[in-house]
Amino acid sequence: MNKLLITEITRMGPAFCVIGLQREKDKIRSVRPVSATANSWLHFPYQRGDVLQCELAPFSGAKPHIEDRVSTSGFEKESTVPEPEVVSYLRKAEIAGSLPELFGCPLHENRGGGLFAKPPEAKRSVCGTVTQNLRLELCANELRATLAISSGEVLRDLPVVDRDWRDFIDAALAEGRGANRVARLERFLSSQFHYKVLSCPHHFIRLGLTRPYHDLCWLMLDTLIPLPKQDWLEEF
């Protein structure tokens, strides 16, 4: 059996993409469990920080998704790791401080927004980084991120696919929350968000690349830690 510390759960349309960390001798690496029939899961009843037991088999997926492994059995929860400890493990996995180092290839800026990599050039599809600054904005009720990494380089207009943050946004915009929901959420993202997230001692992000789409892999914000708390909704 393999042990997998779940670190990423992203919303990709109606399904979820999952990534975890696995220890291999003296290294910690990212592993993406996929089923024999799909790259994502329609139902994934686990949380970030859960340690799962599962059977994983090698899988020759298309570049740059070299982290793919086929799950040949169900998941069984063994334990849970607190958020600060999850980040301590993420800092020992794939991490980079400049744009070319993130995926081992050039990243290209799209005129209409966002960044992309060319699949044959990218060496991996997920990487952690430290941010100097981070801003979240709503664009047609979709969450987008602009961030500066430790090299000073700026990544603009990245879709946020983190399941917990997407769920938080959906909850903030729910009809039962009353009037001016969008304006109230935008005020939260431009004020309290910076205090709650950027000042958190274990703040960390992970970036990912989409599956190739029209021969391009688009950059996404996969994971934003700390994860949002439900009681934050009572503050705006």
Please give the pLDDT value at position 233. Answer: 96
Residues 195 and 106 in one domain: yes
Please give the pLDDT value at position 48. Answer: 97
- Angle CA 198–200–203, to nearest 5: 70
pLDDT at 201 over 90: yes
- CB neighbour class for 21 (10 Å; exposed up to 12, middle 13-18, buried from 19): buried
pLDDT digits (tens, 9 = 90+) for 122-145: 999 999 999 999 999 999 889 999
pLDDT digits (tens, 9 = 90+) for 42-86: 999 999 999 999 999 988 778 899 999 999 988 999 999 999 999
The helix (run of H) or strand (run of E) holding residue 179 is none
Please give the pLDDT value at position 36. Answer: 86
Q: Is the model more confident about 2 or about 7?
A: 7
Residues 130 and 196 in one domain: yes
Please give the pLDDT value at position 120. Answer: 95
Please give the pLDDT value at position 231. Answer: 95
Please give the pLDDT value at position 73. Answer: 87
Residues 156 and 229 in one domain: yes
pLDDT at 25 over 90: no
**CA–CA separation, 4 vs 19, rounded Å?**
9
- How high is the mean pLDDT of the chain? 95
Q: Which of 26-30, 59-63, 110-114 has the lowest mean pLDDT?
A: 59-63
Domain boundary among 41, 67, 86: 86
Residues 146 and 116 in one domain: yes
**CA–CA separation, 213 vs 217, rounded Å?**
6
pLDDT digits (tens, 9 = 90+) for 95-104: 999 999 999 9
**CA–CA separation, 212 vs 206, rounded Å?**
19
**CA–CA separation, 80 vs 229, rounded Å?**
18
Residues 74 and 110 in one domain: no
Residues 74 and 127 in one domain: no
